[in-house]
Amino acid sequence: MKTFTPRTFTIPELKGISQKSIDEHIKLYQGYVKHANLILEKIAEFSKDPASAEANAYAINEMQRRFGFEFDGMKNHEYYFEQFELDGHLSRLSQSEPNTLTTGALKTAIEEEWGSFDAWLARFKAIGLTRGIGWAILYYDKTTNRLVQTWVDEQHLGQLNDVKVILALDMWEHSYLFDYVPADKKKYIEAVFENLNWEVVEARFVKVQA
């Protein structure tokens, strides 16, 4: 049976997000990969013949329901972690200027949709402060040539269809509790954007438009 393989990420020292936080967060991501594989393995085992599939129908259905949670947990975290990776000599973190998106196709698309980059950023950060656990995600809808964004409960409830992820912000407490208390999660959001590698995000946008 084919299995999913956990990815490795080259993440530098970040500002406002500790190495312990990243290390523990990656362990959690690896757990999503492990459990996505385990669910598929058990579904295959419980469905090895028609009689087994019928006898185990309830268990199979519940595992299939759970698969969406584990799979999206795996994928969401892959989008999240690669946003902190640096490509070769590029290092926005060493610059004294604010870390922001200054030019390019994504910035143009954001301005067309929300009027200005700052207006979009304020709105996206506000989505991140939605009560509960989940994700703020920016997508690109190729059928309408528009950027759209939403809050996703947990890992999977509310994910939009037929769109591509451009930027993913993890707002589960495990993403910031080593560094911030829940009342200060706004500081965590600021830290994410201070460290974000906009080249990665821009490259996603360019790729999905091709």
- Measure the CA dihedral 154/157/159/161, to 10°: 160
Residue 87 DSSP class: -
pLDDT at 51: 87
- Domain assignments of the chain as residue spans, ordered by start: 19-82, 92-209
- Would you state the structure tokens that stand for residue 45, as one six-digit string? 């085992």
Topology alike, domains 19-82 and 92-209: no
For residue 164, give the nearest of 193, 189, 143, 133 by alpha carbon.
143
Query: Which tens digit of pLDDT belongs to each residue from 57-81?
Result: 999 999 999 999 999 999 999 999 9
Cα 133 versus chain centre, distance: 13
More confident residue, 86 or 191: 191
Least confident span in 32-41, 42-51, 141-150, 197-206 = 42-51
Cα 139 versus chain centre, distance: 11
Query: The domain 92-209: what is its CATH number?
Result: 3.55.40.20
Cα-based angle 13, 16, 20 (whole degrees, multiple of 5): 60
Query: Which tens digit of pLDDT belongs to each residue from 161-196?
Result: 999 999 999 999 999 999 999 999 999 999 999 999
- In degrees rounded to 5, what are phi and psi of residue 180? -140, 145
Q: Please, are residues 32 and 39 in contact by the beta-carbon 8 Å criterion?
A: no
pLDDT at 90: 47
Give bridge partners of residue 117 from the DSSP assignment.
none
- Would you state the structure tokens that stand for residue 23, as one six-digit string? 């290390």
What is the fold, at CATH topology level, of the domain defined by 19-82?
Helix Hairpins (1.10.287)
